[in-house]
Amino acid sequence: MLKQIAEQLVKTGSYINGRWQQSAQHFTVLNPANQQVLLSVADASASDAERAVCAAADAFASWAALPAAKRSELLQRWYQLVMQHQDDLARLLTLEQGKPLSEAKGEIAYGASYLQWFAEEAKRLYGDTIPAPSNDKRIIVQRQPVGVVAAITPWNFPNAMLARKAAAALAAGCTFIVKPAHQTPLSALALAELAHQAGIPAGVFNVVVGTDAKAIGEVLTQHVKVAKFSFTGSTAVGKQLLKQCADSVKRVSMELGGNAPFIVFDDADLDAAVQGLMAAKFRNAGQTCVCANRILVQQSVYQAFADKLAIAMTQLKVADGLTDGCHIGPLIDDKAVAKVTQLLQSALDDGAKLLLGGSAHSAGAQFFQPTLLTDVQPQMAISNDEIFGPVAALMAFDSEQEAIALANSTEYGLAAYFYSRDIGRVFRVAQALQFGMVGINEGIISNAAAPFGGVKQSGYGREGSKYGLDDYTDIKYLCLGGLQPAM
Ligand code: SIN
């Protein structure tokens, strides 16, 4: 399988200080479509992570001192190389992560778009001058890179989540170490190879791959040479990492779990809402933090919407992500399958009705049927946990007020979606929803120009957009005194 991918992109160990590392210990990377071993990879230790931090610290001064135009040029070159290798990178991603090849290609372009975006933003790290309280002074504000940035990235977007953190960090003048999820290290290592080819200097971008998440995570969150830590993953793990960052008072960005409501009002275009939901629910087999989790449908259009959705869902093809025309690949591992099965069973036990699917799919052990549940209630576990699987859970509501209250009744606040053609309602509901991102008549909200991030227990910090550099820069105020007032 890996043989069809350019050899230079298939790496078997961490990338630290511009060099490929080997070690005595190895771990295997599995294809979630068939559980076969794809590759054996050197298992990095905490001391490898420590070396990466020191390399990034040593490289910081010269990287930060490069003119922004030069950093921009290197990021641009990295972007071009990623796009040149889009097909191979996508294949590698599908093999280790499982998503359909067409989605994997989309993810490579999505990740690359952050490299391109921040190559441009690097040149716009503007400061400010502020009128001073007296004429003998000037107030000047500059933005400076925070220093060494460490990150932990998830398995659901092995390319894009890494690219969007690294691009912003490097553009701001920071150096970077990432520990990708152990299930999907190969996409991260391929990105490192292309960073190397792009001419990004040794120590500026480092990838540490290993299974000892606890020990490596402790180095990345506690090392005094790390100035900032960025994490994408579950809220439970994020809380633990936050505590670990507290002792050395690190800057922190957290992109954590979600429980996205998807509201369909009675004035919505139902066909558009079904189309939006298919994208927001089934992207990556339902394994994204912004996937629609609770589908709230106004009573008067509930049955019509459920019928249309059931028809759309029967068109979904479940298969190995490399199969032509596949929409839904495998879930990442057996634990993911067990969690979806258990949430579904508990909803059925509590009175939800099964309209479609409901069990594992014949394509293999980690495949799950697209499943449609109706009569879901707010107190059920499926309404309160992230499903992270291809299960659409429908709940009815009567009034706009009730929909807003139901949508907001969660500790999460990442993404929300709603469909309505009433302009007054559009502004009222958008204002009332307690979420960092709101899709209005739209199921796909992620792009490099937009600020991605949440509120409440979904975390803080924004990735992408003109705000994306803020998390990687410190504001420095210069007070220039002793000036002669104008005569
Ligand atoms: C995520 O699931 O964490 C990211 C999804 C996205 O970038 O759209």
Q: What is the pLDDT of residues 446-464, one digit of tens each?
A: 999 999 999 999 999 999 9
The per-residue pLDDT for range 374-394, each reduced to its tens digit, is: 999 999 999 999 999 999 999
Ligand 1 neighbours, Cβ below 6 Å, are: 156-157, 232, 255, 288-290, 446, 452
Residue 1 pLDDT > 90 = no
310 pLDDT more than 70: yes
| Ligand 1, atom 6: closest residue by C-alpha | 446
pLDDT of 329: 98
- Tell me the CA–centroid distance for residue 283 and ligand 1, in Å: 10
Counting ligand 1 atoms within 8 A of each CB, the residue from 108, 157, 164, 253 with the most, and so the one to mutate, is 157
The residue ranges of every structural domain in the chain are 2-256+458-476, 260-440
Tens of pLDDT, residues 71-119: 999 999 999 999 999 999 999 999 999 999 999 999 999 999 999 999 9
Number of H helices, E strands in the chain: 14, 22
- Distance, in Å, from the CA atom of 110 to the CA atom of 113, rounded to the nearest integer, reads 5
Which residues are within 8 A (CB) of 246 and not within 5 positions of it... i.e. 6 or more apart? none
How far is it, in rounded angstroms, from Cα 124 to Cα 136?
29
Instruction: Tell me, in angstroms, the distance from the centre of ligand 1 to residue 281's CA.
Output: 12
Which protein residue has the closest C-alpha to ligand 1 atom 3?
Answer: 289
Calculate how far, in angstroms, residue 171's C-alpha sits from the geometric centre of ligand 1: 21
Residue 486: predicted pLDDT: 66
Active-site residue numbers? 255, 289
Mapped onto helix, strand or coil, the DSSP state of residue 78 is: helix
CATH code that applies to domain 260-440: 3.40.309.10
- Residue 447 Cα, ligand 1 centroid: separation in angstroms? 10
pLDDT at residue 313 in the model: 98
CATH number of the 2-256+458-476 domain: 3.40.605.10
Q: Is the pLDDT of residue 18 over 90?
A: yes
Residue 230 has pLDDT above 80, yes or no: yes
Rounded to whole angstroms, the Cα distance separating 165 from 152 reads 10
Residue 444 Cα: closest atom of ligand 1 = 8
Q: Is the pTM for the entire model greater than 0.75?
A: yes
Give the mutation target among 235, 281, 288 for probing the ligand 1 site: most ligand atoms within 8 A of CB: 288
Question: Which residue's alpha carbon is nearest to atom 8 within ligand 1?
Answer: 446
Rounded CA separation 155/160 (Å) = 10
Q: What confidence category does residue 36 fall into, taking pLDDT thresholds of 50, 70 and 90? A: very high
Which of 103, 156, 463 should be mutated for ligand 1, with most atoms under 8 A from CB? 156
In this predicted structure, the answer to whether residue 31 has a pLDDT above a threshold of 90 is yes
Mean pLDDT of the chain: 97
Both tokens of 353, joined, read 């009705």
Q: Tell me the per-residue pLDDT of 129-152, one tens digit each, with 9 for 90 and over.
A: 999 999 999 999 999 999 999 999
pLDDT at 218: 98
371-374 and 391-397 as β-strands: parallel, antiparallel, unpaired? parallel
